[in-house]
Amino acid sequence: MASLNSSSSIKIHEHCHVSPPPTSPHSSIPLTAFDFFWLRFHPVERIFYYTFPSPDTDSSFFFHKLVPTLKTSLSHTLQHFLPLAGNIVWPSDSEIPIVQYNPGDDGVSLVIAESELDLKHVLDNSPNDAAVSHSFVPHLESSDSLASVISLQVTLFPNSGFSIGISTHHAVLDGKSSTMFIKAWASLCQQDQEPTCLVPELVPFFDREALKDQPTLDSLLESSSKLFTDDNNNARNLKILPFPPKLENSVRASFNLTRADLEKIKKRVLSKWDMVVIDEEESNNNSTLYPKPSTLSTFILTCSYVSVCTAKAIQGVESNKNKFAFAFTVDCRNRLLEPPIPTNYFGNCVWGHFIDTKPNNYTEEDGEVIVAKNIYNKIKMISDKGVLEGAKNVSSRFKSALREGVELMSIAGSTRFGVYGIDFGLGKPNKVEITSVDRSLTFGISDSRDEKGGVEVGLVLNKDVMKLFDTLFHEGLCID
């Protein structure tokens, strides 16, 4: 285990606000039912780490060349993403909050910092103090009446490289939208001339009329509004609720599943598919059981394997924790919604689904098969009946799980985002992590940096739990 000192100092060189060009107009868009669910949810924090192409690169390059280029390209990127430069507000005459950008007043908070830590150790995938990463992500402001949309921090590791940390308000951006913005910024950062043009797939679509005639959304908005009210039952409060990171005695680590690993898990699961029976009568919602598939997706294999390893590790260390559940979000863009939503729709266009397992399934001998079957059945149900089928029950199931002491596991990120292809002109990232997974029992997943078709998984666990997880994870990949 690499040793990093979480108390190592960060030196702040500058804290500024970057605005779109002065000619940018006022912008205002309403939140939708998809957005409203996340209104008081914790920020999503992600860090991109880059090494300098030459070990001789000194700090003057960072401060005099790189930072000015990042600032200029950020400003030009924001002219395409005006809501990100604004704030969430809730006008007294509006039934829903809006995202509003006011020219001349608003902009994105940008911190320029320097760390004394050794970047090589920071990039190490082995377990490290979970608190270390929080030095490289900025705070996202929120109050009762106003909430920032994004904040950024660029941190120098002298003579080694730098990181770009981003905190985003989940009520304005889902993972795909956040990645689209970062890709657009990186694209404009590489342009030699004054950057103005984006390739079509990076041009955001903000028109909320695309959701106007979608069935079920009104009922989703009603159920979402009740999820995170404050102590005074004030649903209009915009202050992000406290979701403190779980840092005490915790470590952060990354694990890789190669294509060969995934193939091995797939063969093992499919070989037992018909022998492992799901009790349909006792499973939640009596979901339909589908016939055995010929193959399984990377998503199903990753989620089933990692969730079972995690549950067994937690129960192995804390025997009183024996109830688990797993939920994941589904991208609704162009997926059985009528009319279809454009793939470059910017905002939240995801909805959550619980898989229909029993709380003790995860720690059973054939847990990975049971969980894989349930995830597969849920995805097939979504394909057959629509992405919003049963969605209005998510809030009640979430609250019920909390009351019953169930350890809820979930996923952040996607292998489809292509985060390891995001190049600001100095090469692809050496590491990308979703820092905010430490606020709940969440796994950050992404494409692999080194192998097409592989998966990188990041998570934060108690030190002893992580040690057992590491053992279970690697032992399971040795079983044929």
Helix boundaries (H) for 167-256: 175-189, 217-225
Q: Which residues are part of the catalytic machinery? A: 170, 423
Number of Cβ atoms within 10 Å of the Cβ of 275: 8
Cα angle value 389/393/395 (rounded, 5°): 130
Question: What is the β-pairing status of strands 108-115 and 161-168?
Answer: unpaired
Cβ neighbours of residue 158 closer than 8 Å, sequence gap 6 or more: 58, 59, 114
Distance from C-alpha of 479 to C-alpha of 368, rounded to nearest angstrom: 13
Distance of CA 431 to the CA centre of its chain: 15
Token digits of residue 404 = 């019953």
Cβ neighbours of residue 77 closer than 8 Å, sequence gap 6 or more: 181, 184, 185, 188, 195
Return the closest-CA partner of residue 371 out of 349, 356, 386, 381: 356
C-alpha distances out from residue 40 to 111, 215, 224, 240, 307, Å: 24, 24, 11, 4, 26
Cβ neighbours of residue 224 closer than 8 Å, sequence gap 6 or more: 33, 36, 37, 39, 395
Element holding 438 (H helix, E strand): none
Contact 142, 134 (CB under 8 A): no
Rama region for 143: left / alpha / beta (φ>0; ψ in -120 to 50; rest) = beta
Return the closest-CA partner of residue 98 out of 147, 53, 59, 134: 147
The DSSP line for 287-326 is PPPPPPPS---HHHHHHHHHHHHHHHHHHHH-TT---EEE
Question: What is the β-pairing status of strands 407-414 and 324-331?
Answer: parallel
Q: In 7-124, which ranges are E strands?
A: 10-18, 27-30, 44-51, 87-89, 98-101, 108-115
How far is it between the farthest Cα atoms of the chain? 66
Q: Which phi and psi angles does 114 have, rounded to 5°?
A: -140, 135
Q: Hey, is 426 helix, strand or coil?
A: coil
Rama region for 125: left / alpha / beta (φ>0; ψ in -120 to 50; rest) = alpha
Number of Cβ atoms within 10 Å of the Cβ of 33: 23
